[in-house]
Amino acid sequence: MIVGILTVRLRMPENSSLKEKRMTTKSLKDKIRDRFNVSIAEIDDHDKWQVAAFGIAYVGTDRFCADAALSKVVDFIKECKQVDLIDYNTELL
């Protein structure tokens, strides 16, 4: 069993309040969770309305499977128009 962990930092330039941030992050988390069957949570920058950090976990049978699944998540985030991907890090355990 392999656990893949992806941490991403996002910028949301069009948000002007924490309420807008919550709507944007909730929508994005739901889309990622449903499409890629991963666990996802906001892990940092809770009080900043234009920045968010997510922790995403995937459990698979081998390293290739976990790495491929998390790479697809990164590609999906890059294509998302509401957010800009600042940085990401992948770790396989």
Determine the pLDDT at residue 9: 97
Angle ∠(61,4,10) on CA atoms, nearest 5? 145
For residue range 68-86, list pLDDT tens digits in order: 999 999 999 999 999 999 9
Domains in the chain, please, with CATH?
Answer: 2-92 (3.30.70.1120)
Q: Which of 13, 19, 92 is nearest to 59 (CA)?
A: 92
Name beta bridge partners: 1: none
**For the whole model, what pTM was predicted?**
0.90
